[in-house]
């Protein structure tokens, strides 16, 4: 949510931001509704002010009238005066009724319109419309060369018996999968290792519920826009997380953080659920896009002036995971047209998947500036007694499990179809160095 103050004072800035994003938004209507809202506010408050004064005097007169010590004539005079005031007050209340309804309507409309404006892109975000305008900022690692045509992960997985697509369909339908044996174990190792990895870099581990109230989705910016992409329990109005970002944002919803509590860094492992709309006939093979997946998410609450450097650090933390795993990857700065609604700047991190022959988005790191914080009402004080200010929030995957698994399997595949386990994961797999077919060995104690 943008600051209404900004829209009032600098509508040109907002208009220009919309153009850069190639986004349509009802800015003119918003400005007009805001003007109306302020007009109604003024009218309503003027009347309320008079009514409050009358009420006060009516109260005083009532006490006088009921006081037997007071002279009868004076009490009668007070009675007349009171009747006049009550009549006037009654009239004002009548007038208010209509005005308050108008005010409320304007307010609701204003809020509705405000929710339709996306965040202002950071000046450093390249201008552009689509994927082709994204900027590859840097690349790490050379794609491995193979003496044979590298296999895609679904072939490797089938050969190794670690991903069971049929079982996924049997249990839950298409775009679900079952990990078996070394596959399940490898994912679990990745999760544990990544949590430890980020904790060691200063993030605090959090385990939130996977089901959250509708309010979290509204305040987190997911409703109403993304309702059709999420799963929900209708009976209780509980929503399944599409990403831990929702839960982590809401952790400090409606709070004023005390001086000295920033920055706050969180790392959370959660399942993520997405009701993706898969285009019929354009099959996405393997586990690249699924309805349920695991993700280790990074999240930061920081002071406004630090958010850009915090974004760079966040990207670095996500990249460090891939470096440690030895997976070639590149960092892509999204152009204005590709930016998410809440983001002022976003870097995607893409891992090279030699078998699939494509760069896979394994992480998306965004600086949401004060946009998300304003909507979720997350503020902080610089000093005791200082005015509360909105924090800046940042989020990024660190990393998403299925695509990390894809990249790992495809990069570390051997000619015979076995897959080498990257060194950092071995302690989490009781020292296991290679995954071979039908590998169901029990973990050493």
CB nearer to RNA: give 95 or 436: 95
364 a catalytic residue: yes
Size of the site for RNA (CB under 7 A): 32
Q: Where are the alpha helices (DSSP H) in 135-275?
A: 153-160, 165-172, 182-200, 214-219, 244-250
| Of residues 17-46, those binding RNA (CB under 7 A) | 38, 41-42, 44-46
- Cα separation, 46 vs 49, in Å, equals 5
Reported as type and span, the H/E element at residue 356 is none
| Of residues 73-92, those binding RNA (CB under 7 A) | 86, 89-90, 92
- And the tokens for 32? 């007009």
219 binds RNA (CB under 7 A): no
Least Cβ distance, residue 262 to RNA (angstroms): 17
CB nearer to RNA: give 114 or 244: 114
From the candidates 274, 374, 375, 379, give the one annotated as an active-site residue: 274
Do 300 and 263 meet the contact criterion of CB atoms below 8 Å apart?
A: yes
Q: Which of 15, 75, 93, 140 binds RNA (CB under 7 A)?
A: 93
403 a catalytic residue: yes
170 binds RNA (CB under 7 A): no
Do 139 and 63 meet the contact criterion of CB atoms below 8 Å apart?
A: no
| Of residues 335-394, those binding RNA (CB under 7 A) | 379, 384, 387-388
Q: Which of 115, 256, 257, 418 binds RNA (CB under 7 A)?
A: 256
Do 156 and 148 meet the contact criterion of CB atoms below 8 Å apart?
A: no
Which bin fits 311, alpha (ψ -120 to 50), beta or left (φ > 0)? alpha
CB nearer to RNA: give 259 or 357: 259
Reported as type and span, the H/E element at residue 301 is strand 292-302
- Cα separation, 4 vs 113, in Å, equals 11
Do 267 and 398 meet the contact criterion of CB atoms below 8 Å apart?
A: yes
Least Cβ distance, residue 294 to RNA (angstroms): 19
192 binds RNA (CB under 7 A): no
155 a catalytic residue: no
Do 433 and 189 meet the contact criterion of CB atoms below 8 Å apart?
A: no
CB nearer to RNA: give 90 or 199: 90
Do 410 and 286 meet the contact criterion of CB atoms below 8 Å apart?
A: no
Where along the sequence are the contacts to RNA (CB under 7 A)?
4-5, 38, 41-42, 44-46, 48-49, 51-56, 58-60, 62-63, 86, 89-90, 92-93, 104, 256, 379, 384, 387-388
Which residues does the annotation mark as catalytic? 274, 289, 361, 364, 403
């Amino acid at each position: 949510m943008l600051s209404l103050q900004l829209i009032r004072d600098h509508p040109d800035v907002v208009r220009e931001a919309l153009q850069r994003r190639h986004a349509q938004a009802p800015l003119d209507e918003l400005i007009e509704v805001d003007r109306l809202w302020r007009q109604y506010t003024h009218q309503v408050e003027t009347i309320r002010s008079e009514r409050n004064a009358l009420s006060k005097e009516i109260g005083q007169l009532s006490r006088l009238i009921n006081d037997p010590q007071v002279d009868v004539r004076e009490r009668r005079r007070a009675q007349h005066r009171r009747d006049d005031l009550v009549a006037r007050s009654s009239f004002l209340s009548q007038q208010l009724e209509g005005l308050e309804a108008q005010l409320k309507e304007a307010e609701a409309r204003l809020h509705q319109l405000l929710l339709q404006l996306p965040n202002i892109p950071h000046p450093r975000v390249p201008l552009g419309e689509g994927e082709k305008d994204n900027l590859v900022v840097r690349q790490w690692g050379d794609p491995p060369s193979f003496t044979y045509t590298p296999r895609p992960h679904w072939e490797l997985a089938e050969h190794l018996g670690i991903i069971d697509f049929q079982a996924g369909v049997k249990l839950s339908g298409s775009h679900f999968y079952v990990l078996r044996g070394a596959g399940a174990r490898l994912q679990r190792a990745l999760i544990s290792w990544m949590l430890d990895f980020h904790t060691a870099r200063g993030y605090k581990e959090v385990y939130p519920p996977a089901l959250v109230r509708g309010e979290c989705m509204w305040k987190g910016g997911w409703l109403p826009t993304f309702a059709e992409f999420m799963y929900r329990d209708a009976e209780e109005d509980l929503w399944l997380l599409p990403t831990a970002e929702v839960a982590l944002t809401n952790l400090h919803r409606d709070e004023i953080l005390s001086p000295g509590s920033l920055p706050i860094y969180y790392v959370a492992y959660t399942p993520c659920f997405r009701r993706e709309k898969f285009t019929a006939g354009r099959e996405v093979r393997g586990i690249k896009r699924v309805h349920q997946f695991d993700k280790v998410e990074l999240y930061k609450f920081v002071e406004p002036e630090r958010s850009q450097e915090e974004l760079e650090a966040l990207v670095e933390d996500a990249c460090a995971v891939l470096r440690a795993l030895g997976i070639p990857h590149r960092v892509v700065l999204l152009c204005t047209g590709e930016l998410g609604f809440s983001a002022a700047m976003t870097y995607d991190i893409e891992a090279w998947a030699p078998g699939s022959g494509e760069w896979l988005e394994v992480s998306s790191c965004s600086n949401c500036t004060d946009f998300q914080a304003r909507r979720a009402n997350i503020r902080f004080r610089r000093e005791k007694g200082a005015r509360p200010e909105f924090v800046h929030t940042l989020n990024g995957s660190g990393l998403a499990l299925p695509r990390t698994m894809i990249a790992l399997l495809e990069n570390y595949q051997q000619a015979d179809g076995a897959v080498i386990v990257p060194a950092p994961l071995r302690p989490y797999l009781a020292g296991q160095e290679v995954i071979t077919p039908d590998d169901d060995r029990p973990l050493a104690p």
